[in-house]
Amino acid sequence: MTMEEWHRAVDEWVKGENARAGKVYKPSVGMYPPIQEGLVVSEMGINNRLASADLIRHYADAIGDTNPLWRFEEYARTTRYGRIIAPPRFLDCIAPPSGMGMGFPNFGVPGMNPLNRGSRYTWFENIWAGDEFTVEDRYLGVEEVTKKERPMPRLFLFDGLRKYINQRGEVVASVKGGAIVVGSGPDLKGPDPAFTVAKKHVYTAEELKAIDEAYDAEKRQGMEVRYWEDVHEGDELPRLVKGPLTVLDSVAFFHAIGYTTAFKITKILLREQPGWGVVDPETNVPFPVSGIHVSDVNAQAQGVPFAIGFAAQLEGCVSQLVTDWMGDDGFLKSLDCQMRHVFTIGDTAWITGKVTGKRVEDGEHLVDIEARAENQDRVLMVPAKATVRLLSRHDF
């Protein structure tokens, strides 16, 4: 394919995607069969209908969250819930809400690589162990945002709205978000300058010691009620550390959310959706773009110099900062995360937050929080905003 042919194919892709903007889809379960209604690939459909206690624990393991409310029946019975509930971002285990699955763009053009750019999550109900889910998506279309002064790579934003509905017909959560699609052309060789990271960080003994000490210093509010009246603007949340990120951390997230296939299933997916495959230059074997999370070679074939972590995994870590702070009796109402920099294998995320305001709205006592995840070089990876509902002393 020549560059001229590639540009024409990309233009046709944009027209086709926007022709179906506004349509509502109900994703199937699993990644196979890969075609729904002859159009929508369900690679990012429903991975797990059942929120089992085991799966909730696996998700908590995958973000390094030791909260016993997600893990132990004995502990959960002593709380106001009486049984295990899931961390808010357990949504990833039901159906990935990163914007990659909401109507799921059809990448039939080579050299089109999607990256999570962040989403806004809103929760209405708790996720209880034993809940079963269906999902409804509304596809919102594609917008080109290529810079005039830099015509390559071509950049696109796509968006969708996803709702999570439990067996009682309750909309437990919704998420509006999407991805940035980097169109680097059909013959990309090596890292694209748009994503160049100079080198992997080499840690000193002092840096590794500081990380270990930060893990040991993690503080969780737990059963002790954090009352709305006791919170003040400017209060800082206890810092969290996540890292250094390894390939096994990414594998843990793959495992928890069920975003994996092998052998024939993978071959079928790549055949039906060729844009979701890249060729390993060392073996000449095509493999899924999701290998970007575990393989430098795969990442480089997609224009990224090193393997990168899951944005959704890092967002889950940001949500842990908030849930640790609010305690068992708090409720995370919303979380808006924006991805600004890739979380590269070898990076460490330092996650901080502070209270920016408090208010009473519709009878709820709310606290607004701003959070951020920076890497070891103080590069901002994720800015985030959250709203939490706390108990008031007047509730008793």
What was the pLDDT predicted at 396? Answer: 67
Task: Kindly state the tokens that stand for 74.
Answer: 């004995």
β 24-25/133-144 pair status:
antiparallel
The structural domains of the chain, with segments of one domain joined by +, span 3-395
215: CB partners within 8 A, 6+ apart: 241
Instruction: Kindly state the tokens that stand for 80.
Output: 């106001």
What b/e readout covers 154-171, taking b as 16+ CB neighbours within 10 angstroms? bbbbbbbbbbbbbeeeee
Can you give the pLDDT at residue 129? 97
Confidence (pLDDT) at 41: 46
The Cα 293–Cα 302 span in angstroms is 11
Spatial contact of 281 and 321, defined as CB atoms under 8 Å apart: no
Confidence (pLDDT) at 190: 53
Burial label for 202, CB within 10 Å (0-12, 13-18, 19+), is exposed
pLDDT along the chain (396 residues), means of 10: 88 87 81 50 74 98 98 96 97 75 58 80 97 91 88 86 95 89 72 61 97 97 97 98 96 90 84 75 84 87 85 96 98 95 94 98 97 96 97 87
| Amino acid at residue number 388 | V
Q: What angle, rounded to 10 degrees, do the helices at 53-62 and 311-326 form?
A: 100
Q: What is the DSSP letter of 50?
A: B
Its CATH architecture, for the domain 3-395, is: Roll (3.10)
According to the model, what pLDDT value does residue 198 have? 63
Query: How would you class 151 by CB atoms within 10 Å of its CB: exposed for 0-12, middle for 13-18, buried for 19 or more?
Result: exposed
